[in-house]
Each structure stands twice: as structure tokens, then as C-alpha cells.
Structure 1
């Protein structure tokens, strides 16, 4: 049933693409699970405008938002196969596939959003982007994913003790499962689109995400307690199918890279504005925002997670380099 729905969605999307984007020689199909207007969606649209201008109308991008082409796990596979050309995806689903992506996904690896920007805009970020090539994908750019915190429908969480036995949705990543387990809670990997109903029906008690996602998903409506533990500051990634990439000339490949890089500051500006809007909206809704927590026990609890996932010398060197980055 899921496969049929996905294929039907792809066929409808392809028909729409043919009708709306016939002016370009080649229209690249881009997927995003977030809704229209979300910073990542608008950033890829901006990339498309830049690309169309720089190639004289030779290349365009059509963005399919709101999971029209499927949830992230499905769209990753479709991108690897070449059915989708471009894809904005969270790093979490790649953790079990590309070991380098585990590093920026580590809890508390970044001291701040500014620290994350410095790292991901530099050689470490490029090293991670380069790692996608061995998996039929071309890493183009990193977008912001904000700082992720826990929210739930049951009670305010002010300590690890409060988390014991609670059920939280996480992205489909072993590392995120282990992170929640290390905090004494139970992790439930679920597609993003299933979270609202799962909280509403009691399948899970809550989830973890950033301000804009907590807002635009509607999760704040069913999970009224938001604890700003900020355990993750994980960037998101824009990738291209290697099959689609290989069809382009070297000049067009460079145009795609340049347009992707140019979309990053656009995304960051939109993200900062969206975060403020979402915070104001959620506070106005009367949700309880918990800030008086001692984060050090949460940080200390992550030691076994680091020991499990940072094993090779390469990954240890990456962690040390990030920690040494000012």
C-alpha cells in the first residue's frame, strides 16, 4: 500500500512537473518533507532561480514539498536510484549509511549554532559532503536544522529522572535511539508524518525537534511541554542523485554547486526569522517552555553514545577537530 501511494504520488508529481515547468530544457525534481514556505523549501526555490539564471534557462528546479514524493527514508532511496534529482534531508537517516554523518549528529557536539556554522562551512563539512559520493549521492550544501529539544504531552521535564520510562519518537537512526535510551527513556523510530497522530493517540508521549518543526507540524497542539535541553544542533543536507549528476556537463555541475552554496545564506536568514515567528506563536498558545534544567547530567550521560559511535581514528580526529574549532 505504501509503495503504491508513493508511486502514485510520483506519477502525479511528474505530470504536474511536465505541465508547469516545460519552459526549461531540464527540470530537476526536488523533494522536501517540510511544508511550502518552510525555510528549506524556500531555499531550494531560491537555488532554482539562481540556477535558471546562471544556465540561461537550461536548468530549473521544481520543489515537491510536504512529503509529496514520500517520507525521508523512501525519498533517499528514490534519489539514489535517480527517480528524484535533488533532496533536502535530515542527517539522521544517513547515520546508519555514511559514518561521517554521525559526527555532526552527536549530542552536544556543537557549542552553539554559530559554532556549527563555522565547522560545517569549513573543511570538516566538505569532508562529510564528499562522503556521500560513495553512496550514489552528491552532497551539495548544509542547511540549518536548529537546536532540537524534547516535547511531550504528559509533564514538564526538568531532569533525567523525569524522562524515565517515557516514549519519544526519534528519526530512524540507531544513534538517536541510543541517545534517548541513555537518558532513561524509550525511543520509537517513526516517520515524521506519523508523529502528530502517534502523540494524539498515545502511541508515544512526545518527540524532539526544533522550534519551527514543533510549530509547523502542529505537534505543539498535542504536546504542550517543551524542554529546551538543546541536545542536538544537527544541520540538514541537500543532496543530488549521482545518476542525475552524471548526466550534466561539467559546466552545469559547477552551476548546480554554486547555486546550492548561494542558497545557504538565504536559508539561514529565513530560518532565523521563522524561529522567531514559531517561538512567539507557541508561547502565545500557552505552551509551557521549560528552561530551568541542569544540562550537565544530560551531557555526561552521552559518554557511552560517543564510545559506541566514535571508534575509528578518522572519526576521533573529526570530533577533536570540531571541539578545537573556535
Structure 2
């Protein structure tokens, strides 16, 4: 797959180069695994419009959505080597490359979506973006991937005690397993495609995800209780190849960086509209939405943080994120 994706990327690169020669324009290739029309894809298209306008047509962006250039791991490698110019990637795949990205990926690191946006738009976010530079990447901006919450087939969950003993499907991630177990529930790693039938047959009591995924996968048809605990509010990141960045003039670098920041506004507008629409659909279908006091859940994460915040620098970053008002 990697060799194929590199071959495909090289083909796209050659095609883009020819376009650039013919139109006196440099085409920046951008990768995204999400489908066409998805908020992140549309945001990068908007980024391209801004760059084209602000460089008087000298640069444009071509977005290769739907994993056309490979899965995220492959596209990260291609971006590091300069085969791909721009890349929108989930934070998870970067955890083993850029240690600082592991901190925003931890459960209950952010109190709310608003808190996450405030932190990532500020000096802490800039600090994390800067950490990409030693890995042949330039961090440009953070996008949203929604807030993940618990849902289940049994009951309203309004306190940490209600979670005790319940079986929740999680993605195949040690952090997710440790989080659910720390809350007194039982984590069951399972492929996403198996969740609906597992909920329907009682193999699991519940699962967790954001509003659009809960709605689009039709899990709301069998799981009628959704608890807004927002345990995972993990940003996604837009990066540029360091070699592509270095070919820009300082003036064009400033244009690209500002356009990336401006595209965040567009992305959030689209994402918030999608979340609102999905929530309305599931509530209309009879899903009961519950709120929960997050403090006991956050307090229960201490052993999880102790396990994953392995250096004083990462512990300090986590402390500063949580202290941000």
C-alpha cells in the first residue's frame, strides 16, 4: 500500500508540476482521508481559495480527499519527504512522532469544546505547532474532530457511579481502554463496523463517539441514552512539508500561515452546523440526552495521566492546558 500510495503521489506531483508550468502557477497538493464535502476537506479548499487570492494566483491548492494519496500514516511520511505539500491529519498518528501531541489526545484534558479552542488558538497551541518543525513538518493550524461522549442501550448516565460495570466498546487504543477502566466500566475494543450489531444483541452496553458519527452509523436506533461527558476533544492538525515551506518567500509563508488560521473559522462553522444537525436527528428519533458532572470523571484520570505523561515537560504542558481559563 505504501509503495502504491507513493507511486500515486508521484503521479499527482508530476501532473501538478505540469499544471504549474502551463499556468505559471504552483499547485500545492493536500491530502485528507475524509470524503469530499467533509468539514476539513472544505476548509482546506477554502484555504486554497485564500492563498490563490492573496498570492494573485501564483499558488493554488489541490485537495486529494478520501485517502487518494494513502492512509494517514503513509501521507505523514510523504509530507515529511516533500512528496505531499499539505496534510490534514488526526492527532493520534502524530503521538509517536511529536510527543507534545499526546497531551491534547488524553481524556478530559479539555473541559469543553470552547476550552479546547481557546487553548489551541493561543500560545500553547503555537508551542505544539512549533514542535513539528524538528520532524520535517511545519504546523499551520488546528481543526476540530468533535467531542466524543458515551451512549448506551440501558439507562441515563448522570454520575460516575452509573458507569460502574457497564461494557463499552472503544477503539483499539490503550488510552481508551485505560480511560474506560479508570471510570469503573469495562472496555471492549472492537471494530467500528461491528458496533451496531453488538449494541443490538447486548454484547456491549454502549459505545462512545461524537454526534455526527453516532447519527451517521445509526447507533441511535439501538442506543437511546446519550451522555454529554465530552471525554475526548482531540484537535486535528494541518501541516505543511518543511521542504515545501522552505521554497516559499517569507511573504508567501506569512500568507499561507494566515490563510490556514482563517480556514479554521470556516472549518468550525461547518463542523458546528453538522453537529447541530446530527443532534437534532437523534433527539427527534427519541434519544434521551443527559448531562453529567465531569469533575469526578476528570479526577479518575490521575492514573491514566501518570502512565502517559512520562516526562516533566509533558506533565507541565498538561498542567498549563488545564489551568487555561
If the length of structure 1 is used for normalisation, what is the TM-score?
0.82
**Which whole-Å CA distance do the structure 2 matches of 1:316 and 1:40 have between them?**
30
2:169/2:208 contact within 8 Å kept:
no
**Which whole-Å CA distance do the structure 2 matches of 1:72 and 1:198 have between them?**
22
CA distance 1:246–1:189, change in 2 (3 Å): farther
Q: 3-state DSSP class of the match of 2:164?
A: helix
Report the equivalent of 1:89.
Answer: 89
After superposing the two structures, state which structure 1 stretch, 57-66 or 202-211, moved more.
202-211
* 1:231-281 Cα shifts (integer Å, max 9, x gaps): 011111111122222232322222211110111112122222121112123
Report the equivalent of 2:306.
Answer: 307
* 1:113-172 Cα shifts (integer Å, max 9, x gaps): 2211221111111010001111121100011222112356x65573333533x44225xx
Report the equivalent of 2:135.
Answer: 135
The structure whose Rg is larger is: 2
**Which whole-Å CA distance do the structure 2 matches of 1:215 and 1:7 have between them?**
35
After superposing the two structures, state which structure 1 stretch, 125-134 or 180-189, moved more.
180-189
RMSD (Å), alpha carbons: 3.2
If the length of structure 2 is used for normalisation, what is the TM-score?
0.82
User: Which runs of 5 or more residues in structure 2 are unaligned?
Assistant: none
User: Which runs of 5 or more residues in structure 1 are unaligned?
Assistant: none
**Which whole-Å CA distance do the structure 2 matches of 1:72 and 1:187 have between them?**
25
2:51/2:259 contact within 8 Å kept:
yes
In the TM superposition, what are the counterparts of 1:216-231 in structure 2 within 5 Å?
A: 216=216, 218=217, 220=219, 224=223, 226-231=226-231
Report the equivalent of 1:269.
Answer: 269
2:156/2:288 contact within 8 Å kept:
no
2:257 aligned with 1:257: yes
CA distance 1:314–1:304, change in 2 (3 Å): same
In the TM superposition, what are the counterparts of 1:81-230 in structure 2 within 5 Å?
A: 81-151=81-151, 158=157, 159-164=162-167, 166-170=168-172, 174-183=174-183, 184-186=185-187, 188=189, 195=192, 197-199=193-195, 208-216=208-216, 218=217, 220=219, 224=223, 226-230=226-230
**Which whole-Å CA distance do the structure 2 matches of 1:178 and 1:30 have between them?**
34
* 1:287-306 Cα shifts (integer Å, max 9, x gaps): 63452656555333311111
CA distance 1:69–1:214, change in 2 (3 Å): farther
| Paired residue total | 314
CA distance 1:50–1:311, change in 2 (3 Å): same
Q: 3-state DSSP class of the match of 2:110?
A: coil
**Which whole-Å CA distance do the structure 1 matches of 2:8 and 2:114 have between them?**
38
After superposing the two structures, state which structure 1 stretch, 106-115 or 21-30, moved more.
21-30
